[in-house]
Amino acid sequence: MQRFLTFVVLVALLSACSNPSLERPVNNVLKPYLARPGVETAGENAVVVYLTLSNGSVREGPGRSAGTPWTAIRLLVRVGSGLPAAALFGDNDKVIDEGDGFVRIVSGNRPPQRGVLRFSGPCGLEVLATQRSGDTAEKGTYLAEMQMDGVFLQYLYGAESQQDHRRYADWAHSWYMAGQTPCPEP
């Protein structure tokens, strides 16, 4: 009987010490975001949150990631100091002025609806929005990027107008700032 009890204690001790952590590893820079509602890890160097397309509020609970870029904004906070879309630019790019501070940069012989929109977002931050789908340059799904301090925001959404691009950039930035004064005072 004593052997059996020793065996049970040993098994319990070993199983307690060998249980893997259920928490996914994430870069220390991103850990503060995990305390915010609706945020989850998206690999070691990113966290993700979903915002409603109607008012930019955080989607929470089961099914929060369900939907399309036309029903929700998928916002990633990623570790990095350079915007991936900037790597798409070349010396022979065509720059198309779309008015109101928007320019579309088209590389090589690609059609304009596959270009990168560049515009000034919240607090004068540069926004690069790469069109992912859509038959026209006016309507499509976009993957936008904004550089912040040591991280960048990358968000996927559907847009039909310049107002949509500006509104969603404002919402992504507002979520990132978490209620702080959005732009530094001069």
Q: Can you give the residue range of the structural domain that contains 127?
A: 24-177
Within a domain: 18: no
Within a domain: residue 147? yes
Q: Secondary structure of the chain in the HEC alphabet?
A: CHHHHHHHHHHHHHHHHHCCCCCCCCCHHHHHHHHCCCCEECCCCEEEEEEECCCCCECCCCCCCCCCCCCEEEEEEEECCCCHHHHHCCCCCEEEEEECCEEEEECCCCCHHHCEEEEECHHHCEEEEEEEECCCCCCEEEEEEEECCCEEEEEEEEECCHHHHHHHHHHHHHHHHCCCCCCCCC
Tell me, yes or no, whether 156 lies in a domain: yes
CA–CA gap between residue 10 and residue 59 (Å, rounded): 45
Q: What's the whole-model pTM score?
A: 0.81
pLDDT in tens, the chain (186 residues): 565 455 444 445 445 454 444 566 788 999 999 999 999 999 889 999 999 988 999 998 888 888 889 999 999 999 988 888 887 777 788 888 999 999 998 887 777 667 899 999 999 999 999 988 876 777 889 999 999 988 999 999 999 999 999 999 999 999 999 867 667 665
Interval 36-63: pLDDT, tens: 999 999 988 999 999 998 899 999 888 8
Is residue 63, in this structure, part of any structural domain at all? yes
Whether 75 contacts 81, CB under 8 Å: no
Report yes or no on 153 lying in a domain: yes
Number of domains in the chain: 1
The answer as to whether 9 is a domain residue is: no
CA dist 16 and 7 (Å) reads 14
Within a domain: 1: no
